[in-house]
């Protein structure tokens, strides 16, 4: 019996490997044009329901204001798709384009000296980013500088693609960890005073901790703050933001590597340390995203879950409304 799912996975992987071969054969400018062309197809040729245009538009207005014009929203979403395809191209190019010999030509660093102190302190560091900029490059750079990390990421449904990305993350000395069921690995790493890298802007469901993100409650995982508090870890809210292209002067793409905030869990004296730290790193992510909102992944449903308090109020309001109607 034919396993159609595996056939589909193999076909997807074949298409991806074809893209890899094409990208590696193209000059830099042409690879950027390819990414822009793919973004054009996604944004202008596919049905908007398929590309989750409505979700992205709603998220943009939630974050940046209801007064955004249709043109501004549409342009930002198109730029987002361009960014995402450029990120894929950059990931394919990275092993050949970024190395210790040219790292200071490719990257502009905006890190406080305290971060180096933290990495060399013998205490664990959690590198926290979001679906912003090229987060894969941000992680790779730490490996190139000799700070291997456990990279926590959701496993892809396609096993062939999942293996490719796991090997990509390991090429700079990191260790890939599955987000689902990988908590024990995370704890084991941090107990050994190792470092972790993960994304902290996913919806955590109705049981998550609600903190403000662009002025609206967003369900956020408590485990990051809990790990930091239990194991006296630092949290570095970092990013790799693509800078404007200058093909005449730069050999590759130019990025700003930044640390928006360095949080020392041992210095938290709040009565609600988990809430304070979670709000602190979420606010830092928001601050970073505001620098280049077109480089954020607006199609994921960051505000999908709502606080239960609102649901209770809604249930209490329904009988009152019915009585008034009667």
Query: Which carries the bigger pLDDT value, residue 205 or residue 3?
Result: 205
Parse the chain into domains and list their residue ranges: 4-310
Residue 318: per-residue pLDDT: 59
Rounded to whole angstroms, the Cα distance separating 218 from 236 reads: 20
Tokens of 307: 């606080």
In degrees to the nearest 10, what's the CA dihedral of 203, 80, 141, 123? -20
Percent of the chain with pLDDT over 90: 80
Rounded to whole angstroms, the Cα distance separating 81 from 296 reads: 10
Q: Which residues pair with 211 in a beta bridge?
A: 218
Mean pLDDT score across all residues of the chain: 92
Average pLDDT over residues 288-312: 88
Residue with tokens 């109705």: 206
Residue 182: per-residue pLDDT: 74
Rounded to whole angstroms, the Cα distance separating 149 from 143 reads: 7
Instruction: Please state whether the predicted TM-score (pTM) of the whole model is above 0.85.
Output: yes
Cβ contacts of residue 148 below 8 Å, gap of 6+?
142, 172, 173, 174, 175, 194, 195
E-strand ranges in 189-228 read 195-199, 209-213, 216-220
Average pLDDT over residues 87-116: 93
Average pLDDT over residues 240-253: 92
Residue 315: per-residue pLDDT: 58
- Contacts of 48-54 spanning 24+ positions with Cβ under 8 A: 51/81, 51/299, 52/299, 53/77
Position 310 confidence tier, pLDDT thresholds 50, 70, 90: low
Rounded to whole angstroms, the Cα distance separating 134 from 138 reads: 7
Position 179 confidence tier, pLDDT thresholds 50, 70, 90: confident
The yes-or-no verdict on residue 322 having pLDDT over 90 is: no
Weakest mean pLDDT among 148-157, 178-187, 253-262:
178-187
pLDDT tens readout for residues 37-79? 999 999 999 999 999 999 999 999 999 999 999 999 999 999 9
Tokens of 291: 């620098």
Angle at 309 between CA 308 and CA 313, to 5 degrees: 115
Average pLDDT over residues 128-151: 93
Residue 250: per-residue pLDDT: 87
Average pLDDT over residues 180-201: 89
pLDDT tens readout for residues 107-128? 999 988 999 999 999 999 999 9
Tokens of 118: 């933290």
Cβ contacts of residue 323 below 8 Å, gap of 6+?
none
pLDDT tens readout for residues 202-239? 999 999 999 999 999 999 999 999 999 999 999 999 99
């Amino acid at each position: 019996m034919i396993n159609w799912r595996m056939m589909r996975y193999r076909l997807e992987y074949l298409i991806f490997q074809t893209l890899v071969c094409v990208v590696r054969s193209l000059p830099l400018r042409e690879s950027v044009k390819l990414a822009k062309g793919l973004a054009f197809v996604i944004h202008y040729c596919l049905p908007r329901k398929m590309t989750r245009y409505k979700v992205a538009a709603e998220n943009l207005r939630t974050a940046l204001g209801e007064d955004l014009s249709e043109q501004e929203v549409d342009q930002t979403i198109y730029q987002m798709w361009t960014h995402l395809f450029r990120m894929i191209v950059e990931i394919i190019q990275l092993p050949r384009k970024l190395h210790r010999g040219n790292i200071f030509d490719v990257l502009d660093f905006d890190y406080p000296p305290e971060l180096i102190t933290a990495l060399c302190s013998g205490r664990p560091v959690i590198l926290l980013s979001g679906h912003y900029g090229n987060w894969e490059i941000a992680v790779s750079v730490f490996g190139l500088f000799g700070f291997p990390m456990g990279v926590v990421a959701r496993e892809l449904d396609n096993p062939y693609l999942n293996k490719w990305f796991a090997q990509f993350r390991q090429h700079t000395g990191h260790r890939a960890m599955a987000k689902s069921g990988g908590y024990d690995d995370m704890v084991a790493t941090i107990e050994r005073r190792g470092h972790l890298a993960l994304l902290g802007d996913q919806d955590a469901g109705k049981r998550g901790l609600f903190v403000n993100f662009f002025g609206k409650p967003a369900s956020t995982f408590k485990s990051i703050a809990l790990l930091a508090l239990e194991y006296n870890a630092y949290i570095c809210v970092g990013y790799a933001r693509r800078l404007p292209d200058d093909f005449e002067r730069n050999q590759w793409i130019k990025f700003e590597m930044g640390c928006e905030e360095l949080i020392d869990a041992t210095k938290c004296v709040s009565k609600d340390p988990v809430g304070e730290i979670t709000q602190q790193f979420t606010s830092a992510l928001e601050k970073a995203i505001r620098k280049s909102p077109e480089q954020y992944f607006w199609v994921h449903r960051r505000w999908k879950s709502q606080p239960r308090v609102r649901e209770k109020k809604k249930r209490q309001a329904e009988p009152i409304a019915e009585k008034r109607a009667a």
